[in-house]
Amino acid sequence: MTRIVFVRHGNTDWNIEKRAQGHAANPLNERGFKQAEIVARRLAEGEYDFFYSSDLLRTKQTAEIISSQLHLPIHFDQRLREQNRGEIQGTIEEDRIRIWGEDWRSLKLWQESNQSMRIRGRHFVEEMHERYPGKTILVVSHGKFMIETLYELIPLETDHNDSLHNTSITIIKKSANGWEYELYNCTRHLEKEEVTQ
């Protein structure tokens, strides 16, 4: 059976500030690098056939740390990028209210839609299943993108308003009935070493 092992990137300063990251080239912070090292050690206990990652800086840094433990080459794929936040990229809620008003969410502001993320997420997952049937594919990506992709694939079990923790592991597998969860938003590796999410 095909398995996709999703890992969210490590923490960034913009995560802490609740700043819209989008496609910005912002790096991991000290906590994020530590989280990446810890999840890499956990992932090294498993076996993976192929390794894919978003090409944005925070995911590249996370993937490179994981790759150094797994000795697997990374394939970078733009379909795994975070939601394009358009004009709100780099802003916090206070900025958005000041610039566009309390109802800023009703404005498009050139943001990528949830549906667009779901489509590219589904295309990626289906391609992995068709290209590598029965294999295990490790994927490093972004919280909002993964939530929307999972909601598209397993809608009855995913709350698309949920959030995935930094360096959490979520595993889905293909069954006769479609995609199903094997693991969801697991951060026991961080809890074990008492590193905050």
Predicted local distance difference test score (pLDDT) of residue 124: 98
Q: Identify the segments of the chain with pLDDT beneath 70.
A: 158-161, 197
- Predicted pLDDT at 185: 95
Q: Domain residue spans in the chain? A: 3-192
Residue with tokens 């004009």: 87
Smallest CA-to-CA distance from 128 within 83, 170, 168, 77 is with 77
Alpha carbons within 13 angstroms on the beta-carbon side of residue 126 total: 10
Closest CA to 117 of 154, 93, 150: 150
Give the three-state DSSP class for 19.
coil
Q: How many CB atoms lie within 10 A of CB 35?
A: 29
The reported pTM is: 0.95
What is the per-residue burial (b if ≥16 Cβ within 10 Å, else e) of 136-158?
Answer: bbbbbbbbbbbbbbbbbbeeeeb
- pLDDT given at position 177: 87
Residue 163 is predicted with a pLDDT of 86
Q: Could you tell me the CATH superfamily of domain 3-192?
A: Phosphoglycerate mutase-like (3.40.50.1240)
